[in-house]
Amino acid sequence: MSNSSVDLASLLCSRLCHDLLSPVGALVNGLELLADEKDPEMRQRCFELLEQSARTSTDKLKFFRLAFGAAGGFGESVAAEEVRSLVDALVAANDRISVTWVLGVAEMSKPAAKVLLNFAQIAIDALVRGGEIDIAAEVRGGTSELAVRAMGPKIAFDEAIGRALDGSMPEEELTSRTAAAHMLHVLAQESGGGLQYAVTGEALVMGAVLPEG
């Protein structure tokens, strides 16, 4: 493994830890409150908060296990419904965001699944005031074609993520925030495919073409 691969893995781990810090911290706080609380109604509230934090932590771990790691072992493909369920679980706690799916495939290659999951994460992060996300995937002529569109009243898209997606960001400038986008660029490059994106004040569109095999 090259030094650049190690650095990228380290940055992805930092991103995962950052995203898990809040729900795991809420678990710890909830347990501390529960230990001191005597009122039955407040104890029930503590249990509800603990359950919510545990569910959020589990959903994020499942998501990142496939988005960054090798969920399902080292097989060549993953069920498209699994990808859908991971994104839907991530969005479930945010009632300001809705997701519409158009899946023309039953299974996806691991690289395609990673790209679609990370596109979805970028889209969720961009909808700071809520909005809609459209996600589509199909395979034509042995090539995966993916598209994710986020629409909302204000799109928050860091241009550094765009530079990481298109490969114009030097590796030494990568951070935990841009590492996942760089990973997508590498995946597309290695497959002989490509990524593209366009952003306006009210929409972010990302697409990928990934030859399989």
CATH label of the domain that carries residue 156: 3.30.565.10
Contacts of 180 (CB under 8 A, 6+ apart): 12, 15, 67, 68, 118, 121, 122
CA atoms within 13 A on the CB side of 149: 9
Mind listing the pLDDT tens digit of every residue in the chain (213 residues)?
A: 354 777 888 888 888 787 878 877 777 787 887 777 788 888 888 888 888 888 888 888 899 889 988 655 556 789 999 999 999 999 987 889 999 999 999 999 999 999 999 999 999 999 999 999 999 999 999 899 999 999 999 899 999 999 999 999 998 999 999 999 999 999 999 999 999 999 998 999 999 999 986
CB atoms within 10 A of CB 25: 12
| H-run or E-run covering 210 | strand 203-211
Per-residue b or e along 119-137, where b marks 16 or more CB atoms closer than 10 Å to that residue's CB: bbbbbbebbeeebebbbbb
Per the structure, the count of domains in the chain is: 1
CB-CB contact of 151 with 131 (8 Å): yes
| φ/ψ (deg, to 5) at 157 | -125, 115
CB atoms within 10 A of CB 22: 12
Among 176, 178, 184, which Cα is nearest to 159's?
178
The rounded distance, in Å, linking the Cα atoms of 19 and 13 is: 10
CB-CB contact of 167 with 133 (8 Å): no
CB-CB contact of 20 with 57 (8 Å): yes
The domain of 164 spans: 3-211
Contacts of 156 (CB under 8 A, 6+ apart): 125, 126, 127, 128
pTM of the model: 0.87
Q: Supply 57's token pair.
A: 């932590």
